[in-house]
Amino acid sequence: MSRIMLALKVILAKVDSINTLIFDEIDAGIGGNILVKVADTLSSLATDCQVICVTHSPQIASCAHKHWLISKKIIENKTITDINELAENERIDELARMLGGSDQVTKSHALELRKKVISK
């Protein structure tokens, strides 16, 4: 459903006056080149409005202007949610974790994802 909304928003972007779009796991069930196209589309939408994405995809997360890490823990039967904006070095670490590790190879891959976005 989110990808249908994304397609409609791209088509209607010129006449629509929505300031903020929120996509929850728009990347669910896709990968590879399609995921890159979705990330590029979200980036182009973000030039005209605010786009907020909840994602588990490092490809989507690497394209964001800002990266917020949301985590939750249970303390004394209460759920505590933390939301923290990540600095660039923390982003690389989190992207590496999202890629499946924290070793030098995944950190290098995470850094390459960010470099591709920054160079666009």
92 located within any domain: no
Provide the domain count of the chain: 1
Residue 114 has pLDDT above 80, yes or no: yes
36 located within any domain: yes
Give the tens place of pLDDT for each residue, 66-97.
Answer: 999 999 999 999 999 999 999 999 999 999 99
49 located within any domain: yes
10 located within any domain: yes
Place of tokens 């070793």: 103
46 located within any domain: yes
**pLDDT above 90 coverage of the chain, percent:** 52
Q: Which are the contacts of 97, defined by CB distance < 8 A and separation ≥ 6? A: 106
95 located within any domain: no
| Segments forming the whole domain that contains residue 6 | 2-65
> Which whole-number Å values give the CA distances from 98 to 7, 48, 73, 83, 102, in the listed order?
26, 28, 19, 17, 9
86 located within any domain: no
101 located within any domain: no
